Amino acid sequence: MIDIRPLESLGGADHGWLKAKHHFSFAGYHDPARMGWGKLRVWNDDLIRPGTGFPQHGHRDMEIITYIREGAITHRDHLNNEGRTKAGDVQVMSAGKGILHEEWNLEDSDTQLFQIWIETAQNGIRPRWETASFPKEDRKGKLVPLASGKADAPAEALWIAQDAEILGTTLDANTEVTHVTQPGRLVYLVPAKGSVTVNGTRVPERAGAAIRGETVLTIRASEDAEILLADLPPED
């Protein structure tokens, strides 16, 4: 099953400083049919205006992965972590037993990002934050783990406390890549740029593809494309 969720069907909000699209129920958007996808609870598509951002607020018991599409974001938290994550790079915050943080666009132009929340496998762990660079040229034509809780994850992938993985690739037009997953696992795929087909099913730019029961995925770019994919554990 490949269920396509077009951009125009997503929930959203326009706060002026923040324009957001929500793939799943979030904040003021509630759809009982879109509460998440297995352990994937949030996939937000945000545009943040220059000089604005999220003041200090708290999270707990959630793995929060931020993928910067354009611009950059600056993070600060109560553990004295601070850093800037730029386009193409990834930051991971394990909220654990509790973390207070803030996120700001200190750039001169808009920042566009995906924020992804995955339920943790164990509550009450030590909170942590880190960021890493993943040059787009290094993932051309191959799916590269960006954040992972799998035992065999490469050392470069940022750690998350769940048997899940966020992978990224860039594809030239009319090229393809294959993703193989284990029976029972779920996949959620979003083209950050460009449109693709997944096993022959078209997925437009910034749409979501909720995938179940497909262990081999052939992802083919209809045009130059940048893709993010979440490989998730089976549903309980």
Give DSSP secondary structure letters for 70-125.
ESEEEEEETTS-EEEEETT-EEEEE-TT-EEEEEE--SSS-EEEEEEEEE-SSTTP
Interval 108-143: pLDDT, tens: 999 999 999 999 999 999 999 999 999 988 999 999
pTM above 0.85, yes or no: yes
Structural domains of the chain ordered from first start = 2-232 (2.60.120.10)
Pairing of strands 165-171, 225-232: antiparallel
Interval 23-71: pLDDT, tens: 999 999 999 999 999 999 999 999 999 999 999 999 999 999 999 999 9
Contacts (Cβ under 8 Å, ≥6 apart) of 9: none
pLDDT range class, residue 164, cuts 50, 70, 90: very high
C-alpha torsion sign, points 153, 158, 162, 168: negative
Longest dimension (CA), the chain: 47
